Amino acid sequence: MSAYDVVVIGSGTAGQTAAYELKSRGLTVAVAEKSNTPGGTCALAGCQAKKWFYEAAETAAKSNHLKGRGIVSPPQVSWADVLRGKNKFTTTVPGNTLTGFKKAGIDVISGVARFLDEKTLDIGGRKVSARFFVVASGAHPMPLPIEGIENAITSDGFLELPSLPGRFVFIGGGFISFEFAHFVARLGDGPSRQTTILEAAPRALGPFDAEMVSLLVAASKTEGIDVHTGVRISSVEKDGNAFRVVTGDGVSYAADVVVNSAGRLPDVNDLDLDRAGIDFSRRGISVNARMQTTQPNIYAVGDCASTVQLARVADYEAMVAVNAILGEKGGGGWPEMDYSAVPAILFTYPQYGMVGYTEDALKHEGIPYTKSFGKNLSWPTYRRIGMSDAAYKILAGTDGAFLGAHILSDNAAGIINTIRLAMLNRIPAETLYRQSMMSPYPSRESDMLYMLKPLSQEK
């Protein structure tokens, strides 16, 4: 039986972060990987892969908005060229992943990992023991109990489409559907394109602020994206060379491609977690603030944990787990996990970035707050690029501390990251308002002066 200090299950971003860091601290490390294409969802079919499509879609959107402002002929976009560029990147990921592990002295063991007990794994028929385990097995597309769902492709399949047909139906009204629908709208050909999002819940993008979501839905509508909520799908039927998505009310939506983009589930079913005494649910593996499972020597990080499915959060969780394994003396002082200021970004156009509370959540919890809100902004920064649907909502406590922020902008990510750092460092809205006056001008960040003034003493 092979023995290691630590065995990491999964070779995605969280698994790599944990494995490399532990190895650099002098521990013996192995990585168990069941996939023939190691590297993880983020690089192969998630945040990294999708950005190839977003960059082209954003450029097309900005060019179209600048028509009449100096741009005479907006660029033609080739889906095939974008796909080729993406594939050129993703095809190198598995080899680079394995090469990186080998150079670092990290063993890779191929096969499905199953716990035999809290100290032993069976990996493809090979028994391996370790003092510690880090489960970073990721997530997979959520299967749906819908008749004919096999006629739909998954989000992974969407990023492999060789071309864009005219009619798309996306099942689910979350991150994936909105981003992919905007790719289709921006990168497709001609006015005949039909893009539909169907969501079972009363509204789309449930974790986001309801008022801001309604503004994004309206902006999406202008690009030919229809969003329908409260829709229960009964079947996905083949209709010649096309498909029909039929609802419980008998409404039918025609499509050339149906995408099951209802989300992803933690990939834990193969692990035999119960044999190791590890609690888990549909949401993922139960962990504490140090990323320990109910078995103290076993940690879970990334999409397989019952936390937040975001790549950089996964990396942070991995570092927290490493810190716990090494102990405070050698761990580098990474604190316990705190998800109160985790930002999220929708790579639509405009982008929607958020951090902290939504307004409805503050009301529900009875937390007093003040608000600064604006929409359809006519500030010069947006007039210059022809964007009419930028908006913001900043939420602060009665003491001036940031409670939440929601931004619709072509650079929502940058603005949200600035406010997030203020939240983490307890910088009040008043201070950030005054400091925004000295931001590079004109810029999206300097516009925070206007956003934050209603929360300052000078309002």
Q: What is the pLDDT of residue 327?
A: 86
Classify residue 283: in a domain, yes or no. Answer: yes
Whether residue 124 is annotated as binding a ligand: the answer is no
H/E stretch holding 107:
strand 107-110
Token couple for 336? 């316990």
- List, in sequence order, every residue forming a beta bridge with 227; answer none if it has no partner: 197
Residue 333 assigned ligand-binding role = no
Residue 338 in domain: no
Is residue 337 one of the residues assigned to a domain?
no
Report if residue 30 sits inside a domain.
yes
Q: What does the buried/exposed string (b/e) look like for 21-59 if buried means 16 or more CB atoms within 10 Å of the residue's CB?
A: bbbebebbbbbbbbeebbbbbbbbbbbbbbebbbebbbe
Last residue of a domain, one of 262, 280, 311: 262
Give the three-class secondary structure for 113.
strand
Structure tokens of 32?
A: 């168990």
For 36, the token pair is 């023939």
Q: 21 and 70 in one domain?
A: yes
DSSP 147: B
Neighbours of 76 (CB within 10 A): 7
Task: Based on the fold, state whether residues 270 and 255 are members of the same structural domain.
Answer: no
Range of the domain at 442: 343-455
Q: What is the pLDDT of residue 329?
A: 45
Q: What is the pLDDT of residues 190-238, one digit of tens each?
A: 555 899 999 999 999 999 999 999 999 999 999 999 999 999 999 999 9
Dist CA 220 CA 185 (whole Å): 9
| 380 Cβ contact partners less than 8 Å away, ≥ 6 residues apart | 442
Single out the residue of 135, 132, 138, 107 nearest to residue 118, CA to CA. Answer: 132
172 in a labelled binding site: yes
Residues 388 and 401 in one domain: yes
Interior angle at CA 152, CA 150 and CA 157, nearest 5:
110
Residues 12 and 130 in one domain: yes
Domain at 287, CATH number: 3.50.50.60
> Are 105 and 231 in the same domain?
no
pLDDT (tens digit per residue) in 283-304: 999 999 999 999 999 999 999 9
Is there a contact between 25 and 330 (Cβ–Cβ < 8 Å)?
Answer: yes
Q: How far apart are CA 445 and CA 431, in angstroms?
A: 14
The reply to whether 288 falls in a domain is yes
CB 45 within 8 A of CB 155: yes
Residue type, 14: A
**Same domain flag for 12 and 100:** yes
Tell whether residue 132 is among the known ligand binding residues: no
199 in a labelled binding site? yes
On whether both 277 and 130 belong to a single domain, the answer is: yes
pTM of the model as a whole = 0.95
- 74 domain-assigned: yes
- Residue by residue, what is the 3-state secondary structure of 168-205? EEEECCCHHHHHHHHHHHHHCCCCCCEEEEECCCCCCC
Q: Is 414 annotated as a binding residue?
A: no
Give me the tens of pLDDT residue by residue for the chain, a chain 459 residues long: 899 999 999 999 999 999 999 999 999 999 999 999 999 999 999 999 999 999 999 999 999 999 989 999 888 889 999 999 999 999 999 999 999 999 999 999 999 999 999 999 999 999 999 999 999 999 999 999 999 999 999 999 999 999 999 999 999 999 999 999 999 999 976 555 899 999 999 999 999 999 999 999 999 999 999 999 999 999 999 999 999 999 999 999 999 999 999 999 999 999 999 999 999 999 999 999 999 999 999 999 999 999 999 999 999 999 999 999 998 545 567 889 999 999 999 999 999 999 999 999 999 999 999 999 999 999 999 999 999 999 999 999 999 999 999 999 999 999 999 999 999 999 999 999 999 999 999 998 899 999 999 998 765
Instruction: Tell me how far the alpha carbon of residue 82 is from its chain's centroid.
Output: 21
Number of Cβ within 10 Å of residue 229's Cβ equals: 14
First and final C-alpha spacing in the chain: 69
CA separation for the pair 278, 147 (Å, rounded): 34
Q: What backbone torsions phi and psi does residue 276 show, to the nearest 5 degrees? A: -100, 5
- Asked if the structure places residue 336 within a domain, the reply is no
- Which of 219, 237, 262 terminates a domain? The answer is 262
Shared domain check, 183 and 132:
no
Q: How many domains does the chain have?
A: 3
According to the annotation, is 51 in a ligand binding site? yes
CB 118 within 8 A of CB 298: yes
Specify whether 60 is located in the same domain as 203: no
**313 plus 401 within the same structural domain:** no
What's at 61, amino acid-wise? A
Alpha helices per DSSP H over 35-174: 41-45, 47-65, 79-90, 93-104, 155-158
Q: Do 200 and 64 share a domain, yes or no?
A: no
Residues 79 and 221 occupy one common structural domain: no
303 is in an annotated binding site: yes
